[in-house]
Amino acid sequence: MSPMHPSQFPEGGRRAWLTILGGFCCLFVSFGWINSIGVFQAYYETHQLSEYSASTIGWIPSLEVFILMFMGPIVGKLYDNFGPRPLLASGLFLHVFGLMMTSLATQYYQFILAQGICSPLGISLVFYPAISTATSWFMRRRALALGIVVAGSSLGGVIFPIMIPLLINEVGFGWTIRICAFLILALLIIANLTMRSRLPPNPHPLVLKSFVAPFAEGPFLLFAVGSFFIFLTIFVPMNYINLQGEQSGMAVNTANYLLPVLNAVR
């Protein structure tokens, strides 16, 4: 019987729920971090990158989101060929290394390379395997399992935006980013130890046509276009909501809570 037949899904068990725990940790440090990047837009405009315009600084969080989404098909292909373990290990290194380099950055190009490119490459190698691995264990209870995994992104999106401004006031920017990186390192170690795919890797040759063929199907094309506009409306407000609050007369400390409130309720 095919391993994808509904009767073949365990729907639970120790390894399955440990995988869900690992997936929760992955979403906390990947999409949870992406949900928090609006904090940096506001901070950079008044500190390290104050001589640059808001739109120029906006390339940093914009690149993070773009690379996360753009890497989806590439990471999916790597996942099929090698499974989740090499991707999670590589993602751990790139995400943590990118943030450590961000903590040392002083120039605009350094922030672009470290936070805008290196870190989100690691995030993409963590995010997509977490979702795919979680679904390999559940069919009937998949909504519950994925709900638990995805809850990590909302929790991360609440904790990081509160944690970062408070830590900056206490220990400065550099150590704030390092503390976040150490937290991410700890959670990704847990993920690397707990996540296992039920299905073995299924390597097959790279065929570029397979990446564009689905767009010839009307339902998939409409889904892709709709998703494009959904994500466009999700991330633009998150990047600038703190600044908008300040410009509307809110105190800085109060405006800093707009982003975690948004992540908590959406």
- Determine phi and psi for 35, rounding to 5 degrees: -65, -10
Query: In the chain, what is the straight-line distance between the N-terminal and C-terminal CA atoms, in Å?
Result: 40
Please tell me the distance from the alpha carbon of residue 81 to that of residue 200, in angstroms, as a whole number: 9
Closest to 119 (Cα-Cα) out of 61, 42, 77: 61
The rounded radius of gyration (Å) of the Cα atoms in the chain is 19
Q: Domain residue spans in the chain?
A: 9-265
Instruction: List per-residue pLDDT tens for the chain, 266 residues long.
Output: 556 666 677 777 889 899 999 999 999 999 999 988 888 888 898 888 989 998 899 899 889 989 998 999 899 999 989 989 999 999 999 999 999 999 999 999 999 999 999 999 999 999 999 999 988 888 888 899 999 999 999 899 999 999 999 999 999 999 999 999 999 999 999 999 999 888 888 877 877 777 788 888 889 899 889 988 887 777 777 777 777 777 787 877 777 788 888 777 76
147 Cβ neighbours under 8 A, 6+ residues apart: none
Q: Which amino acid is at 82?
A: F
**Residue 195 half-sphere exposure toward CB, CA atoms < 13 A:** 33
Q: 3-state DSSP: the chain helix, strand, coil percent, rounded to 5?
A: 80, 0, 20
**Residue 104 half-sphere exposure toward CB, CA atoms < 13 A:** 7
Q: Quote the pTM value.
A: 0.89
SS3 189: helix
Describe the crossing of helices 14-29 and 173-194 by its angle, rounded to 10 degrees: 160
pLDDT of residue 230: 83
Tell which CATH architecture fits domain 9-265: Up-down Bundle (1.20)
In the block, tokens 């409130």 appear at: 261
Please tell me the distance from the alpha carbon of residue 55 to that of residue 247, in angstroms, as a whole number: 16
